[in-house]
Amino acid sequence: MTHPLRVALIRGDGIGIDVANAAIAVVDASLARVGAPALEYDDIDAGAGYFAETGLDIEPGGEERAGEADAIFLGAIGLPAIRHEDGTEISPHLRLRDRFQLYAGVRPVKAYPNAPQRLADPRAANLDMVILRESTEGLFYSAAVHGRFVASGDEEVRETLRISRATTEKLHRFAFKLAERRKARGKSARLTCVDKANVFASMAFFRKIFDETKAEYPEIAVGYNYVDAMALDLVRKPWEFDVMVMENMFGDILSDLAGGLVGGMGMAACGEIGDHTGLFQPAHGSAPDIMGQDKANPLAAILSGAMMLDYLSDKSGDKKLEAAAELIERAVDAGFGENALRPMEFGGDMGTEAVTAELLRRVEAG
């Protein structure tokens, strides 16, 4: 690409503003350190705070500008006290997922030295796996733009769960390619299909398409787990899993569970990737109870920024961006290893600014 890579930047609400600023600072420093061109940012107003001021959840033309960018970076959206009349929170990011068909929700789960280990087994210290959550269909299909059926008399609500062949085929191919990439990097690369195929026809269909797709990737070992058993196994023996692919709501729940195994949601990076663009954000919420207090852990956002650089490297062909992503990941790993990263989320003494400053020092030093 000859033009500067452009990122649509939605800082959002609450701590989303602080962690987005931290992520962009570290991303920019890593690019400068490896000699890569700077990114161009297009700030877009969106979120619950913007809704309270204007009655809109995203500024006019904001969705179109987000789609025109090479990637989207989001801090966090939503404030519990500001809701639609039906009680649901302000969530334009769900509409962005649907509009741009960001079907592959990539949720890395990685343990770091000196970060909290919730499981006593020493094998938990080496957790390194990925939950791949379909992000446009499933039980969230109704929540984006497709509406809900509410019976008259305030007696019943129904939601639509959708599993389509077109989207599920793309999701499973993404999953197998992700497993191939991890295998090339020395990971176990076992791919597990997580569903509830013993009860729901939609889940049996999801598994059927998985089985059809696996024939194209004979070198990748596969497994199966019902979602309830998967929740148990993530507590009992998570080190036996590498990549897990699943429906939207299942992934929403299990990725939070898995995040808890490696410290908390302050470590939960996320990428939502489609055929033409990707959205990157920390998987945590806006945490209004600590907004503006310099207490937020910015690492989920910073690691999401590294994921964005990796994505942009593939998209542009510029390997310097991949080097910048690796620089950030090494800085986080070494920072924890030397006990130089001590987020308040983990009972440490470092707030948002201190964690960011430590990572900037390490990235700038290379």
DSSP 144: I
d(CA 27, CA 319): 15
> Among the options 28, 128, 256, 294, which is catalytic?
256
Could you give the residue ranges of the DSSP H alpha helices within the chain?
15-34, 48-54, 62-68, 92-99, 141, 165-184, 201-214, 227-236, 248-261, 299-316, 319-337, 352-365
> Among the options 18, 98, 252, 310, which is catalytic?
252
> Among the options 110, 170, 183, 196, which is catalytic?
196
Q: Tokens 């596969």 sit at which residue? A: 222
Q: Tokens 């039980």 sit at which residue? A: 139
57: annotated active-site residue: no
141: annotated active-site residue: yes
> Among the options 228, 275, 289, 314, which is catalytic?
228
- The closest alpha carbon to 358, from 332, 326, 337, belongs to 332
Task: Tell me the three-class secondary structure of 195-247, residue by residue.
Answer: ECCCCCHHHHHHHHHHHHHHCCCCCCCEEEEEHHHHHHHHHHCHHHCCEEEEC
The one-letter amino acid code at 321 reads L
Token digits for 316?
Answer: 């542009």
d(CA 111, CA 85): 40
Helix (H, G, I), strand (E, B) or coil at 91: coil
Token digits for 262?
Answer: 């490696």
252: annotated active-site residue: yes
What are the backbone angles phi and psi of residue 33, rounded to the nearest 5°? -65, -35
- The closest alpha carbon to 24, from 274, 280, 263, 264, belongs to 280
> Among the options 141, 183, 195, 311, which is catalytic?
141
128: annotated active-site residue: no
Give the active site residues.
141, 196, 228, 252, 256
